Structure 1
Amino acid sequence: MSTTTNRLWRLAVRPDGMIKQSDFNLVSEPVPALQEGQLRIRNVYLSLDPAMRGWLIDRPSYVPPVQIGEIMRGLAVGVVEESMHPKFAKGDTVQGMFGWQERVVSNGEGVTKLPASPLPLTANLGLFGLAGMTSYFGLLDVGQPKEGETLLVSGAAGSVGSLVGQIGKIKGLRVVGIAGSDDKCEWLVNELGFDAAVNYKKGDLRTQLKEACPKGVDVYFENVGGEILDTVLSVMNPFGRVVVCGLISQYNATEKVPGPYNFAMVISKRLRIQGFIATDFGSRVKEMINDYAQWYMAGKLKYRVDVVQGLEAAPTAINKLFDGSNTGKLIVQVSEV
């Protein structure tokens, strides 16, 4: 593969429903020669995240939408191939919003040099990346859990949900996960130490939740929305907290999604519902990394990655996040480590 060419995905049309490969154009373009103060990065791993579906919708949000013709936005880990920048050297491992492409030329803005670590490179996306920030600050700062309370997590076998549940156990909570298969539920309980897990596709969800959460739910970490959110509101305890991380069940909806029918319970149960964005806590990343490193080395925190091979697979692989076929952090391997 020539170091003077770059393959990349540009947005062709805005998706209608599930993302399709035809919504993007895979093109090859020359890599510009470096100027003083620039560096060239070869992407190794690309993170696929549910938030990407929202970035493709032409509406105001916490970040501008990806425009037609632009390179698809995405967090990646890569290696510096060449540098004329004083802070980066050839061979450095770096992380940033490098996008769906093989290579990127940067002036260094938004590029983070990663420290040497005994962990595999994927840990920077599966543990210390946006999923890690979302899990850590979403639960601890927004959810404000107290020892002995019951924590319920939807999308519990995903990259965020699986970390949230483990943090809950570390903090002394009873942790229950919601997932979409028996295999995922078994993984949550047998491998990650959840106290219980329910398969929302089997039987009446409210009945399953009442059995798994006999004392009700104090903190609900919401990744899914829709009917699951509506059902959970009925088992929340007074003064419970609902941490709204994502609403993955409706990201691909082609028509307006009705709000929760049980929303009146927010009043009667005096619930607090709060949404958040992981980057709200960007100034405190070191705090998260220190705790995660200690927990991981002590065997209290595990993570799993679901690696798909090849940049060309990105537009179809991302749908694994929405059809429930991934377990753990979904990553595309763009090149060799």
Structure 2
Amino acid sequence: MSPRPRRTLIAALVIASVAVPVSGAARPSAVPAPAPAALAPLRTATPAALAERYAAGRDGILAAERTAAGHGDRKRAAALRAMADPARHFLSFDGRDGGRAAEVFGDLSRAERIAVLVPGSDTSLDRYGRLRAGAAALQRELGGRSAVVAWLGYRTPGTVSPEVLTPGRADDAAPALRRFMAELAAAKPTARTSLLCHSYGSVVCGRAAHGLEVADIVLYGSPGTGADTTAGLRSRATVWAGRGAGDWVADVPHARLQLPFTTVGLGSDPLSPEFGARIFAAGDGGHSDYLKPGSASLENIARIVSGRTPHDAGEGSRA
């Protein structure tokens, strides 16, 4: 690594280390929630099997709502009551430690195209609206015979935190993502499935990529994957990358620094020729705009999920 990226990376770590205690002091205390009931793997996506799974998810949400209400957190309780609406469908739910959930948009039993969204930093039950809105917008763009799963399956790092500069949270999350994707593949073996990875979610996808049965891995707003090339992901999927012109993540230093007890930095820029991803046009939007209705990025991501070539697609040279 050249001296300048090294200095930039160290400076970013120092800034994050100082900022975290200040920002963390303002965060509310954790809201308690009961442990969810153990669920058998979903082996088939028939309407009956899904209805049973969704009912179990709803029971877990209502149990968490009662606990939050008893704790005096009316805001969390109200949010959970909305999540328990019978019109919403959760394959899994766990209200502890910021929350874990897998919500389905569209009819999974009939879906021929499935997209699994892996969110980035600062996503939790208390900040779930953006993930849900993006998943709903993508499912509308895809249309019939499609389903989108918003997979909040890990404790995401804070945007301003030391953890966001290291692959540690992604290493912890990767086994859960692999299990979920294997379960989905078993339940929907003939569906065309794509993994969509936003921001720090790209690192989670990078750590989980090996052996996943997916057609595409789509990286957007990505600070890196923890790998230096697409070959380093050890995946047979087509790897795509896009970045909006207004996305601040372009200024993140793309490098890695090995320290005695951790690795700081997330590897090569996924849009670089050296990384070797196929590039899709993502328009002029910012870091949170990739699944915004009417955006070029949403249209192109939907085209990829559908097995079509996105507009203005290109390919980086292989390293």
Q: TM-score, normalised by structure 2?
A: 0.30
By percentage of residues, which structure has more helix? 2
Bigger share in strand: 1
Q: Which has the larger radius of gyration?
A: 1
Structure number with greater CO (CA < 8 Å, separation at least 6) is 1
